[in-house]
Chains A and B, each alone.
Chain A
Amino acid sequence: MVQAINQALSQNMEKDDSVILLGEDVGVDGGVFRVTDGLLSKFGPERVLDTPLVELGIVGMGIGMAVNGLRPVVEIQFQDFIYTAMDQIINQAAKIRYRSGGEYIAPIIIRTPYGGGIRGGLYHSQSGESYFVHTAGLIVATPSGPYDAKGLLNSAFKASDPIIFLEPKRLYRSIKEEVPEDMYTVPLGKAKLANSGDDLSIITYGSMVSTVLDTVKKNKINADVLDLRTLLPLDVEAILATVEKTGRVIIVHEAPRTLGMGAEISALIAERRIDYLQAPILRVTGPDSPFPYKMEDYYIPNEKRIMKAVAKILEYR
């Protein structure tokens, strides 16, 4: 996935000289995950900026660039470090179009690795997607593999709204897929049915998609697996379609349960398709605790926990 994202960045930079990368260690070092490797030597220091250590400044500067016709791509080294920039994201980026009557827009892309799986402890493992999804004016996308990563990013470059692009860091080097050379797009706001089945629906995204798919295959579960791909706005049609098909829903995510994506998805289903439900909606999520270092395998939803929910939901009569 690192290569797919790198390729998307590189191709968009070649195509459009308004694309500027900025972030901590993105230049000489190529980023701590090497996502921007080689881009400094290819495009020079005016377009690949190794910035001082100030997330709110990097994001704010990026917004100022976006407002003035550039296409900034900001990298926040770890999503855990983004919080000082939340004022800029929520009160500037997300509101500029609205508050200026459309005279100004801020098409900034903020890329950041999120989630666990690298033994990063409290401050290199968080899944903070709900913080962003609660903010009208932002688009929040998260790929589950290299193909979608490049395609979604290509779509992000065509959008004129600010985009939070959450990259599941665990997948950076663990998933291999064929990625075409051309600049194909994967649409924002559209989920993907990653597996088709009749007995139940598992709705998930990001790093959990591969875990769910592996679990379903290994245990021969006849399940729809819906990869949301965009968290804001949600693809409500795809969610409702799978609910209608199976009537049994499990939502899986790594972020803590309380007010996680599962809460919103459950509410959407309850409001619109309660008559189709044959069992209570179940959530398999990270616990409502900080993300632990040594015990990370207990934190991240795994096959065992997913299968427990599958058994429960299939037994329900």
Chain B
Amino acid sequence: MAEITSQEEKQKLVKAYTAMVLSRTLDKKIVNAQRQGRVGFYTPTMGQEALQIGAAMALDEQDLIYGYYRDVPLMISRGVPMDLIINQIMGNSADIAKGRQMPSHYGSRKHNFMSVQSPVATNLPLAVGAAYSLKYRKKKGVVLTTFGEGSTSTPDFHAAMNLASVYELPVIFLCENNGWAISLPVEKQTRVDIWSKAAAYGMPGIRANGNDILETYEAVKAAVKRAREGKGPTLIDAISFRMGPHSTSDDPTKYRSESVPEGSEKDPLTIAEGTLKALKLMDDKMIENIKQKTIKIVDDKFDECEKIPPPDPITAFEQVYSEQTWMLKEEVGDIL
């Protein structure tokens, strides 16, 4: 277990644990709602809370995030309000993008969280460009970009790693190595450890237990320090496990037998609880209390968001360009 001693870091850890519980509770809520037909689709994040929230603990507000579609805990730990996430999942009129994107494709400029795309790893070159902007404008910020281990097979991963290194840019490449790219296990994705790929680009590669919040935090903290000092990018291989399916449309029993049950010793929440108790920051009663309170908060927020009406259909044809084209004006007239 990594050491934390300062009061500030201890407080951070308590806050981070609360975010983990909120993420887990919200995750389960959305999955259940999907089964009830109240939500169309979802990519569960269960199992990846520690690595995402541990990473966020190492960032400042002005740092930029270029994430992917399994980053709800990362958003929550950045202070993104829960209703922004639920509204996106529901695609209602309060959603920033007015229900244009399928669930799990959020973003919030206010929280420096770039809106998410589906094609994997295409966010990585953008993160490099974002980091170039920061460096060019002599700003202090760094860029965190996240992706699954399946993404390391893409040309975008290679391009981004190489470019970030060549231009010595402040990028932290956080591989959320959950072992599975839908049905493909990591052993069939690549023949080498993910962290070792960093050597090919001349940057450090760090392996971290992604289920241990403090270990990921320490790894990202070191990478952030390096980036802020102008020493360039780092690759972090945060090894974790996708406790749920790839998405609500996926049945993992078809391709894998291993599992990490909730509450088992590999569950990142269990590990975090052990840490909190060892540091005497919480006891079982407090933990149970947080969990129960969070269920109520999530249920209430979910019900509240569910009452928000769907977007006006006309909004589906807006914001394609700075000004609506004559074609679209005509087409909207025909459709509506």
Contacts and interface: CB of A to CB of B under 8 A. Distances in A.
Nearest to B88: A101
A137 interface: yes
B117 interface: yes
A56 B157 CA distance: 11
- Which 8 pairs of residues, A with B, have the shortest CB-CB distance? A64-B129, A60-B125, A57-B159, A68-B133, A100-B115, A64-B126, A103-B109, A61-B129
A57 B327 contact: no
Given A52-B163, A101-B98, A159-B322, A63 B125 contact: yes
Contact of B125 (A61, A70, A160, A236): A61
A73 interface: no
A137 B320 contact: yes
Contacts of B136: 20, 46, 70
A95 B105 CA distance: 13
B96 interface: yes
Highest count of chain A CB atoms <10 Å: which of B108, B119, B125, B320 = B125
Given A66-B129, A69-B137, A105-B322, 11 more contacts: A60-B156, A61-B132, A64-B130, A67-B114, A67-B130, A68-B64, A92-B126, A97-B320, A100-B115, A137-B321, A236-B326
B28 interface: no
B107 interface: yes
B65 to A, nearest CB: 12
Contact of A102 (B122, B155, B319): B319
Contacts of B246: none
A60 B128 contact: yes
Contacts of A7: none
Interface stretch (A83-91, A200-208, A283-291): A83-91
A65 B137 CA distance: 11
A70 B163 contact: no
Interface string B111-140: 000110111001011111111111011000
A62 interface: yes
Nearest to A64: B129
Given A67-B114, A236-B326, A98 B320 contact: yes
B122 A91 contact: yes
A259 B321 CA distance: 24
Highest count of chain B CB atoms <10 Å: which of A59, A103, A159 = A103
Interface string A121-163: 0000000000000001101000000000000000000011100
Contact of A101 (B97, B127, B128): B97
A63 B137 CA distance: 16
B325 interface: yes
Contact of B155 (A46, A84, A103, A159): A84
Nearest to A136: B320
A311 B311 CA distance: 55
A184 interface: no
Contacts of A246: none
Nearest to B96: A101
A50 B163 CA distance: 11
7 contacts: A57-B125, A60-B126, A64-B127, A68-B129, A97-B320, A139-B321, A233-B325
A237 to B, nearest CB: 8
Contact of A61 (B119, B137, B163): B163
Contacts of B167: 49
A51 interface: yes
Given A98-B320, A99-B105, A64 B128 contact: yes
Interface in A177-203: none
Nearest to A57: B159
A272 to B, nearest CB: 10
Interface in A74-126: 84, 87-88, 91-92, 95-105
A23 interface: no
B202 to A, nearest CB: 13
A61 B128 CA distance: 6
Contact of B96 (A20, A95, A100): A100
A72 interface: yes
Interface string A214-241: 0000000000000000000100100000
Contact of B100 (A56, A57, A98): A98
A54 interface: yes
B162 interface: yes
Given A104-B109, A161-B321, A64 B133 contact: yes
Contacts of A97: 319-322
A110 to B, nearest CB: 13
B155 A69 contact: no
Contact of A51 (B117, B133, B163): B163
A91 B22 CA distance: 32
A65 B133 contact: yes
A49 B326 CA distance: 37
Contacts of A54: 155, 158-159, 162-163
A20 B98 CA distance: 33
A70 B134 CA distance: 10
A262 B35 CA distance: 49
A66 B124 CA distance: 14
Contact of B129 (A60, A96, A102, A159): A60
Nearest to B136: A46
B75 to A, nearest CB: 14
A92 B126 CA distance: 9
Contacts of A49: 167
Contacts of B114: 67, 100, 104
A104 B98 CA distance: 14
B133 A100 contact: no
Nearest to B163: A57
Given A20-B136, A52-B162, A136-B320, A65 B117 contact: no
A72 B96 contact: no
B160 interface: yes
